[in-house]
Each structure stands twice: as structure tokens, then as C-alpha cells.
Amino acid sequence: MNGLARHTTGHEVWAGLCRIPRHRHRDPYAAVILAGGYEESGSYGRYRVQAGHALMHRSFDAHLDRFERSGARVLNLPLDEEPTFGLGWVGDPDAIARLAATDLMAAREAFKQQLQPVHMPAEDWPDLLARDLLADPGLRLDEWAGRHHLAPATLSRGFARVFATSAAAFRAEARAQIALAQIATGEALSDIAVTAGFSDQPHMTRAITALTGRPPGYWARRVKSVQDGAKAS
């Protein structure tokens, strides 16, 4: 997966049975499903969605999409803050879509007011593994496979079939996202490396650079610049 994809703000229409390969976006956004449905396997796990659902994406999250026979109509809304959960529900997606046609900021505010988190139970073991890795990015894959009576090769192939990436890579990205969120608080990088589950700070540097294209120091300087600007104003 090379580079970062740009999401299209506003409406998108996807044909039935089409597939979007795994890709990553630079900025946070929500995909509000207006009609139809599809399956998305991404950094928050795998979800099967229909009209009224909202898929939440953080900066640098990755996902792939598999559309149902009916296809789907989607409204993409840029977010002004990082979401903390992967799937939500809005009561009146069409009203949000109408607002978005003339006032994107008003549509985003209406979306925030309506949004409620949704918990979707795991359908099978790849879903369960993804959720366990998100809950504990230090999880040992060999131990998890043993507890669930899976051969390591079966775990590797089965997870990649759903998420188009290895379980180890998924785990590394989960750790990097935890570290990015902590960098935003201004915490020391050495402390973040420990609490995010990395073996040392260079390990964290490699993971964040692989995820974002920039090392942790770059993001720490950006945070400090924003904080200094806020103090000056």
C-alpha cells in the first residue's frame, strides 16, 4: 500500500459487488451510509454496515471495502477531531446529507449531535483477534493461536484474507496509533514508547514512521507549536 489516499468530501456512489483495495487516509473523516450496504475491514476491525451507520476513520487508519450487490450511497464528512470508536449510528442520515449540500460545517455539527457509538459482535475468529489486538497490542500471536486451537499458518492466512494485512502488521499499526494519541498530549517520547508497548524508543520511531511517513519527533514538534501558538493568542 503506497502513499496516502484522499477521501472525497461529499457524496459517493459505489456499484454493486465492487471492491476497494486496502488504503490509508491522511485526515480523519466519517463515512455516513445513506443507502445500500457493504463490509469494511479496517484499523478498528471489521464491520458490516447499512443505511444509518457511520464508519469512523482516524488519521492514518487503513481499510478495504467489499460492497453488496445493491452497492451503496455514502456521505463523507471531514472531522475536526480524531474519533475514539470505529462504528456509529445516526438517526436521520438524509437530513445530514441535505445540510452537507449547502453547509458542510452545519452538516458536521448535526452529525456530531446525532452520532451514537455502536457495538457489533465478532462474527468469527479474525474479528475476535483484531479486537483483542486493539485492546492489547502487546498480545502474543502464538499464544492467542494456541488458546483458540489454530495453527500459526492458519491464523496468518485467515487474518490476511479478511484484513489484507498480517496480524503482526495490524498489531504494529495499533501500537503506533496509541503512541500518536499520546504524543498529542505532549507526553515525553521515552515514556510513550513504554506505555504504548514498544520494546524501546527506536522501535516506536520505526512503527510511527512506517504508519505516517514522519518520525515521532516531527509530531511532537507539531504539538508543541500548536500549544505555543495557543498560549501566544
In CATH, what number is assigned to the domain containing residue 225?
1.10.10.60
> In this structure, are 98 and 142 located in the same domain?
no
Indicate whether 102 and 136 sit together in one domain. Answer: no
Q: Are 111 and 54 in contact (CB under 8 A)?
A: yes
CA distance 5 to 1: 10
Looking at residue 233, its pLDDT comes to: 66
Specify the long-range contacts of residues 196-201, CB closer than 8 Å, at least 24 apart. 196/137, 197/137, 197/138
- Grid cell, residue 193, equals 514508547
The reply to whether 30 and 90 lie within a common domain is yes
pLDDT in tens, 121-150: 999 999 999 999 999 988 999 999 999 999
Q: Which of 85, 117, 149 is the last residue of a domain?
A: 117
30 falls within a domain: yes
Are 86 and 168 in a shared domain? no
Residues 6+ apart with CB under 8 A from 127: 45, 46, 162
pTM: 0.94
Domain count, the chain: 2
* Domain-terminating residue out of 97, 117, 137: 117
Per the structure, the complete domain to which residue 96 belongs is given by 10-117
> What's the gap between Cα 15 and its chain centre?
23
pLDDT tens, N- to C-terminus, the chain (233 residues): 446 887 789 999 999 999 999 999 999 999 999 999 999 999 999 999 999 999 999 999 999 999 999 999 999 999 999 999 999 999 999 999 999 999 999 999 999 999 999 999 999 999 999 999 999 988 999 999 999 999 999 999 999 999 999 999 999 999 999 999 999 998 999 999 998 989 999 999 999 999 999 999 999 999 888 877 777 76
69, 100, 117: which is the final residue of a domain?
A: 117
CA 4, 30, 187, 222 torsion-angle sign:
positive
Q: Which residues contact 170 (CB under 8 A, 6 or more apart)?
A: 43, 130, 133, 159, 163
Look at residue 4 and tell me if it is in a domain: no
Are residue 38 and residue 106 in the same domain, yes or no? yes
Same domain, 205 and 169: yes
